[in-house]
Amino acid sequence: MEIPPDELHKDVSILYVEDEESIREGYGRALHRISNNIYTAQNGQEGLEIFKKHRPDIVISDIKMPIMNGIDMLKFIRKIDPHCQVVFTTAHNDSAYLLEALELEVNGYLQKPVSKDLLKSKVQKLSQNIVKEKLALLQQKEIEAQKAILQNVLDHEQNLLLVTDFQNALFANKAFLETFGAKEIREFNQRYSNILDIFLPLPNYLHQGLLKEGENFYDMLLRHEDTKRTVTLITVDGEPKAYKINISKIVHEDIESYLISLTDITKMNIQKLGTEKKAFYDNLTGVYNRNKFDELFESELNRVKRYHNDASIMVLDIDHFKKFNDTYGHLIGDEVLVLLAKTIRNNIRNTDIFARWGGEEFVLLLTETPSDIACKIADNLRVKIEDAHHPKAGQITASFGITQLLASDTIQSAFQRCDQALYMAKAAGRNRVECIV
């Protein structure tokens, strides 16, 4: 909305710098009719001192003046306030100064003798922008203050609170961020490309794999009974926890977002979670087991087929693992498996699905990841494993076979390509990465 000029320029402060006294007094009176805050100076040096003291919104200055000219004064002003609005009054013989003035990004030029109507019009236009910027700054400060108060209140709430559009986290309280080991919302969003990835696809709990075509998580929640509105998360300490979930729709300026409140009910579900952990996690390494991986793989493959998402799968095998068992015994062999699993788990995203496939073989499903990126990730993991020395067994290495999931894939066809790539890696000397698209 356009602000009426007569309502805004009265409070805008103006510094007028002119060395000729008669001109300065005449235009000073004209400027007083435009604004209530007028300062005058007879040269650039005096103008600069007034600017330092009062920080006026607009500077109107002659270019050629004794002691310090307008150009030199403006150079100092720009160091103090790079965004100050400046208008030069110029005579025909001031052309030598204009190029330098242009480089200082002056906001306007008025030819002497200056028309008072033209001067008023110019001040009004500059005032319009200045007042709009000040109002925007005040509104922003007010919004920031309100957000700080809201954040402080919500940070004392024990429930996990999150505002989201079901893609990114828009706002979260301290309890939510601490649960995922994040210091701020940006760090959380960098870890999770999709907010729904935080919900584990466990039986009897809500997760994105239960969504119908075109349905969002809020609509899916509404079609479930209140007693079944529960989800599970993997917290920063690696433990699954159960939460009662409530979601409220927020509509502001035709933009929809959702407030999610998560209440910890882990103690009420401890036996259930313990049973599920035994059923879906490998007892030795603590990562998913093969049965759980199969279930999650089917869910991700459905997403690939439905939404054409990129996803890659890799199989990795510890090189010469039999040597560790034969040389140091099975207990050391188990420690090697645990060390490798820990190394990988500490160097992948929370959204990646990592499982022990059997024996010394592990599998990793990378969501939202094409094969070329997966190969780079695998090579980084290969180096991390190579650097993770066991106290007795020494250096560990692993070979990787990778492929990208296709819409036509089954778990058998995807693993057939992975196994072929893994065989190529071992045949080429081990401790390397091979990829088949």
Q: What is the pLDDT of residues 240-261, one digit of tens each?
A: 788 999 998 888 767 788 989 8
- Cβ pair 355, 363 in contact under 8 A: yes
Work out the average pLDDT over 48-64: 90
| DSSP classification of residue 245 | E
Distance CA 87, CA 110 (A): 7
Residues 6+ apart with CB under 8 A from 404: 310, 311, 312, 313, 370, 371, 374, 437
Work out the average pLDDT over 172-183: 86
pLDDT in tens, 189-237: 887 778 888 888 777 889 888 888 888 899 999 999 988 899 988 777 7
Q: How high is the pLDDT of residue 2? A: 47
290 in the same domain as 422: yes
| Number of domains composing the chain | 3
Q: State the CATH number of the domain containing residue 248.
A: 3.30.450.20
In the set 360, 361, 368, 434, the catalytic residue is: 360
Q: Give the model's confidence band at 291: pLDDT under 50 very low, under 70 low, under 90 confident, else very high.
A: confident
Domain range for 108 is: 5-136
Residue 265's nearest CA partner among 289, 245, 291, 237 is 245
Work out the average pLDDT over 293-319: 89
Q: Which residue has the tokens 């780079």?
A: 376
Q: How high is the pLDDT of residue 198? A: 85
SS3 category, 60 = strand
Q: Is residue 153 part of a domain?
A: no
> Is the model more confident about 33 or about 408?
408
Q: How high is the pLDDT of residue 175? A: 86
Q: Is residue 419 part of a domain?
A: yes
Residues 6+ apart with CB under 8 A from 350: 180, 191, 192, 197, 198, 234
Catalytic: 360? yes
Q: How high is the pLDDT of residue 48? A: 93
Q: How high is the pLDDT of residue 174? A: 86
393 in the same domain as 361: yes
Q: Of the residues 254, 276, 298, which one is the last residue of a structural domain?
A: 276
418 in the same domain as 293: yes
Predicted model pTM: 0.46
Work out the average pLDDT over 24-48: 87
Considering the chain, what is the average pLDDT of its residues? 84
Question: Could you give the C-alpha distances from 115 to 90, 127, 162, 293, in angstroms and in order?
Answer: 12, 18, 59, 80
122 in the same domain as 28: yes
Is the pLDDT reported for residue 104 higher than 80? Answer: no
- For the CA atoms of 204, 208, 209, 215, the dihedral, rounded to the nearest 10 degrees, stands at 110
Q: Is residue 150 part of a domain?
A: no
Is the pLDDT reported for residue 123 higher than 60? Answer: yes
Q: How high is the pLDDT of residue 101? A: 64
Q: Is residue 154 part of a domain?
A: no
Q: To which H or E segment does residue 10 belong?
A: none
Q: Of the residues 242, 276, 310, which one is the last residue of a structural domain?
A: 276
pLDDT above 70 covers what percent of the chain?
A: 88
- Cβ pair 63, 97 in contact under 8 A: yes
Q: Which residue has the tokens 């207990």?
A: 331
Q: How buried is 59 (Cβ within 10 angstroms: 0-12 exposed, 13-18 middle, 19+ buried)?
A: buried
103 in the same domain as 173: no
Q: How buried is 288 (Cβ within 10 angstroms: 0-12 exposed, 13-18 middle, 19+ buried)?
A: buried
Residue 207's nearest CA partner among 226, 189, 232, 227 is 232
Work out the number of other CB atoms within 10 angstroms of the CB of residue 40: 20
- For the CA atoms of 138, 143, 144, 147, the dihedral, rounded to the nearest 10 degrees, stands at 160
> Is the model more confident about 47 or about 167?
47
> Is the model more confident about 397 or about 126?
397
Is the pLDDT reported for residue 390 higher than 80? Answer: yes
Q: Which residue has the tokens 């320029």?
A: 9
Distance CA 85, CA 362 (A): 65
393 in the same domain as 288: yes
Is the pLDDT reported for residue 278 higher than 80? Answer: no
Is the pLDDT reported for residue 22 higher than 80? Answer: yes
Q: State the CATH number of the domain containing residue 20.
A: 3.40.50.2300
Is the pLDDT reported for residue 141 higher than 60? Answer: yes
Helices and strands: H and E segment counts in the chain:
14, 15
Rg (CA), the chain: 34
Q: Is residue 148 part of a domain?
A: no
286 in the same domain as 431: yes
Q: Is residue 152 part of a domain?
A: no
CA angle 326, 328, 331 (to 5 degrees): 100
What's the full length of the chain, in residues? 437
Q: How high is the pLDDT of residue 5? A: 47
Is the pLDDT reported for residue 273 higher than 70? Answer: no
319 in the same domain as 255: no
Q: How high is the pLDDT of residue 430? A: 95
Q: Give the model's confidence band at 274: pLDDT under 50 very low, under 70 low, under 90 confident, else very high.
A: low
Is the pLDDT reported for residue 1 higher than 50? Answer: no
> Is the model more confident about 278 or about 39?
39
Is the pLDDT reported for residue 352 higher than 80? Answer: yes
Is the pLDDT reported for residue 350 higher than 90? Answer: no
Q: How high is the pLDDT of residue 109? A: 80
At position 304, the amino acid (one-letter code) is V
- Cβ pair 329, 263 in contact under 8 A: no
- Cβ pair 380, 347 in contact under 8 A: yes
Q: Is residue 145 part of a domain?
A: no
Q: How buried is 230 (Cβ within 10 angstroms: 0-12 exposed, 13-18 middle, 19+ buried)?
A: buried
